[in-house]
Amino acid sequence: MRKIIIDTDPGRDDAAAILLALASPELEVLGIVAVAGNVSVHHTERNARRVVDLSGRSDVPVYLGCDRPIARELVTSEHVHGQTGLDGYELPEPKGFEKGHGVEFIIETVMSAEPGIITLCQLGPLTNTGTALVKEPRIAGRIREIVLMGGTCWEIGNITPAAEYNMYVDPEAADIVLKSGIPITIAPLDVTHLVLADSERLARFANLGNNAGPAIAGLLDYSRNLDPSRWGGIGAPVYDPCVIAYLLQPELFKGKIVNVSIETASPLTLGATVVDWWRRTDRPPNANVLYDVNVEGFFTLLTERFARLP
C-alpha cells in the first residue's frame, strides 16, 4: 500500500477525491489535513470529518491546518461551492474531532517514516505543505512524491484570466513547493476539464445502492448546474479525483516532465503557472504535467471504487 496524506479544502470535488482514496485498498490514508481555500478552514475541517464519516472510516484522523495563505488575504469560492463548501447534498454533522495542527502532523509523520515512503496528495491551496517546508526543510528529501491538482498549461484560468484557483490563493506556497526538489505530478485544468460528470455518469453513482453513491452524485450535480453553458450542457469537471486516480492507475494519464514556475508578483497574472512545455528556458524540469486522460477508464475506476463504500 502507498502511504498518503491528503491536504484538502473540501469542496465537493475534494469530497469525491477523499472518498475515492478511502475506498481504495492500495492506499493507506495516514491522515487528512484541512486548509483554508474554497471556504474557511472552519468549514473545510468540518467537511473533511463529514466525508470521513460517510466513508465509514472512523480510523482516519482529520487535522486542522492553516487558516490563511502564507503572505496574503484568503480568497474563498463560495460562489462555486456554496456557503458550507458542500452545498448540493446534506451530510450529517460529523461525529469525530480534529486531532491537532496539520502542519505539525505533516512534519512529524514525514520525519518519523522511512525516506521515500509518504506521498502528499494536494487538493487545495498549498499553504500547509509550503509552511511545513519552511518550518522543517528536511522533509523535502524524505517525501516520496507530491501529486497535486492545480495550475494550467494551455487552458485559461478559472479564478482570473491567467490563474487556476489553488495556485492563485497561495502563490507563495506553490512557489516553495515547486522549488523544493520533491518529485511532483500536476493535474492542471487542461486534464481535469476532460473528465466531465454528465448525467449518465452521475446516474451510475446515484444508483450504486449505498449511501455514498447518491451523496457523490448530488454534490457533483450541484457543480454541473452552476454554469451549464460553460460545458456545453454536458457536465462539470471532476477536478480533484484526478489526483487519486493517478495514484491508483497512472496508465490512465499521459504526462510530460517539464519546468513549472509560478508568478508571485504581477497583479495581472498572479498565480499563473508558467509551463516550459517546449524547453525554451534553461530552468530544470521539476514536474510531471498531465495533459491527457482515458475518460471512460477514469469513470469506470470511480464507479467501481465508490461501489465499495457503505
Question: Contact, 159 vs 132, CB < 8 A?
Answer: no
Helix (H/G/I), strand (E/B), else coil: 187: strand
Q: Quick one: pLDDT at residue 239?
A: 97
Q: Which domain holds residue 221?
A: 2-306
Q: Quick one: pLDDT at residue 31?
A: 97
Other beta carbons less than 10 A from residue 147's beta carbon: 24
Q: Quick one: pLDDT at residue 230?
A: 73
Which CATH number do you get for residue 94? 3.90.245.10
Q: Quick check: 18 pLDDT over 80?
A: yes
Q: Quick one: pLDDT at residue 145?
A: 98
Q: Quick one: pLDDT at residue 228?
A: 65
- Domain tally, the chain: 1
User: Rounded CA gap, 210 and 217, in Å?
Assistant: 12
DSSP string, 220-266: HHHHHTT-TTTTTTSEEE--THHHHHHHH-GGGEEEEEEEEEE--S-
With bands split at pLDDT 50, 70 and 90, how would you rate the model's confidence at 96?
Answer: confident
Q: Under 8 Å CB-to-CB from 214, ≥6 apart: which residues? A: 89, 205, 206, 208
Q: Mind listing the pLDDT tens digit for each residue in 48-81?
A: 999 999 999 989 999 999 999 999 999 998 888 8
User: Rounded CA gap, 123 and 187, in Å?
Assistant: 10
User: Rounded CA gap, 232 and 254, in Å?
Assistant: 25
Q: Quick one: pLDDT at residue 82?
A: 83
Q: Quick one: pLDDT at residue 196?
A: 95
Q: Quick one: pLDDT at residue 229?
A: 67
Q: Mind listing the pLDDT tens digit for each residue in 215-245?
A: 999 999 887 766 666 776 788 899 999 999 9
Beta strands 273-276 and 143-149, pairing class: unpaired
